[in-house]
Structures are given as C-alpha cells and as structure tokens.
C-alpha cells in the first residue's frame, strides 16, 4: 500500500507531501484535510489516484487564475498554456470549467475586448482580426460577431477604416523624395494589416496619388 512518507508546510500556500518518497505537486490544505493526510498514513491505490487527481485540479485552477490575472485568454489558448505545464487534460478541463463558472473565462467577451484593443491601438483589417482570433482558438462565428461588434462600437466601416489608415500613413510618408517608393511602402504596410490588394491599390491612389509626369 502507498504510504505518506513526508508531510510538512512549505513556503507559500499548500503542503509538501511525499508518497513513498515521491513528491506530489503542492497539496492545498483543504485537500490535505479532506484526505486526512498525515505521515505514515497508508492509502489504497484508488485513494492515491484520487488524491493526485484532486491536487492536479487545484494546480490547474490556480495556474489558470494566475494567467487570467495578467491578461484575458480564449478558452482554447488557455488550455494550451496549461497543457504545456504538464497538467493532465482532465485537470485542465476542470479548471477551465471553474473559471467559466466564476465569470473569468468567456470567449465572446475575450473576442470583443481583443478587437476593441486592436482597433484602438494597432488597427488592422477585419479579415486579419478574424484570423488572429481563430488562431487563439475562438470559433469562426464568435470571431466574426466580435469583429462586427467592434467595428460598430467604433462607429467605422471596413472601407472607412482602410481610408483612415491609408491617410494617416500617407502623411508620415509625404516627405519621401521618391513618390513611387512611398506608394510601395504604403501599399505594403496596408497589405500587412490584412487589407485586400485591390482595396489597397485604390486607397493608395486616393491618399498618395502618383507624381504627375514630368514635362518634356
């Protein structure tokens, strides 16, 4: 039978617990009390497995809350981060469900907040915003709805966003001696922000027209 060979307080929260001299993850005190842990306690294999699972769930929950305290996450993105810490999938799923129940994890709210911040700080085309959200694990329908809501909140249509960005960037390039070089730089800048080539071409012509031909 597995035996608790060591149990003692550790720096910070939780207890240091070893079973057959194998150290577990930090064991929260409520878990230790629920399992009535003490040095020399014999645990059945099933009881040992249940203890490990409970400790993993608490570890996943605490890790998730620490990550969410730094910045919002999409559900799938947070699951990947927790999985990279070696936490079992069952513990990760339990932690995500707890965070959702507490209101700390919501893909719709995350997506709208993400779009709002991008449009304010680093504007880009709606198509690129949708791609970025999907890369973070937001489903396509939620991503599309968030982009639409973000544009509506900002009071701007996609075409207006492109023209606004083109005009702003063109002012920064206005002093470039080579007009065609400035136009190429503007076009590349807009394409990198996800706008379609045809739309970019029109915006460049409008905000930074070609230099008039030189007289013969």
pLDDT tens digit string along 30-50?
999 999 999 999 999 999 999
pLDDT for position 213: 66
Dihedral pair phi/psi, residue 26, rounded to 5°: -50, 130
69-102 per-position pLDDT tens digit: 999 999 999 999 999 999 999 999 999 999 999 9
- Positive or negative, the CA dihedral 74, 75, 76, 80 is positive
Using a 10 angstrom Cβ sphere, with 0-12 exposed, 13-18 middle and 19 or more buried, the burial of residue 199 is middle
User: Could you tell me the mean pLDDT of each successive run of 10 residues in the chain, 216 residues long?
Assistant: 91 87 91 93 94 96 96 96 95 97 95 94 95 96 96 91 93 87 95 95 92 65
CA distance 127 to 106: 22
| CA distances (Å), origin 91, targets 85, 95, 171 | 12, 6, 53
pLDDT for position 183: 94
> How much of the chain, in percent, has pLDDT values that exceed 70?
98
Find out whether 27 and 15 touch, Cβ atoms under 8 Å.
yes
Q: How many CA atoms lie within 13 Å of 173's alpha carbon, on the beta-carbon side?
A: 22
- Going across the sheet that includes 22-23, the strands are 4-9, 15-19, 22-23
CA distance 18 to 25: 9
The Cα diameter of the chain in Å comes to 100
Least Cα distance to 115 among 72, 77, 76 occurs for 72
Chain centroid offset of residue 75 CA: 8
């Amino acid at each position: 039978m597995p035996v608790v060979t060591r149990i003692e307080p550790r720096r910070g929260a939780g207890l240091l617990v070893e079973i057959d001299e194998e150290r577990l993850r930090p064991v929260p005190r409520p878990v230790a009390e629920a399992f009535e842990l003490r040095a020399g306690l014999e645990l059945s294999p099933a009881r040992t497995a249940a203890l490990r699972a409970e400790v993993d769930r608490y570890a996943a929950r605490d890790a998730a809350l620490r990550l969410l305290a730094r910045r919002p996450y999409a559900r799938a993105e947070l699951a990947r981060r927790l999985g990279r810490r070696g936490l079992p999938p069952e513990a990760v799923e339990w932690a995500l469900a707890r965070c959702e129940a507490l209101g700390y994890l919501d893909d719709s709210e995350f997506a709208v907040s993400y779009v709002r911040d991008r449009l304010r700080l680093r504007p880009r085309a709606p198509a690129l915003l949708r791609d970025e959200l999907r890369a973070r694990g937001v489903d396509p329908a939620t991503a599309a709805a968030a982009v639409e809501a973000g544009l509506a909140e900002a009071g701007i249509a996609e075409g207006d966003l492109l023209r606004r960005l083109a005009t702003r960037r063109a002012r920064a390039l206005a002093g470039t001696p080579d007009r065609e070089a400035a136009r190429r730089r503007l076009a590349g800048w807009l394409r990198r922000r996800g706008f379609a080539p045809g739309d970019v071409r029109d915006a460049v012509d409008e905000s930074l027209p070609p230099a008039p031909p030189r007289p013969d």
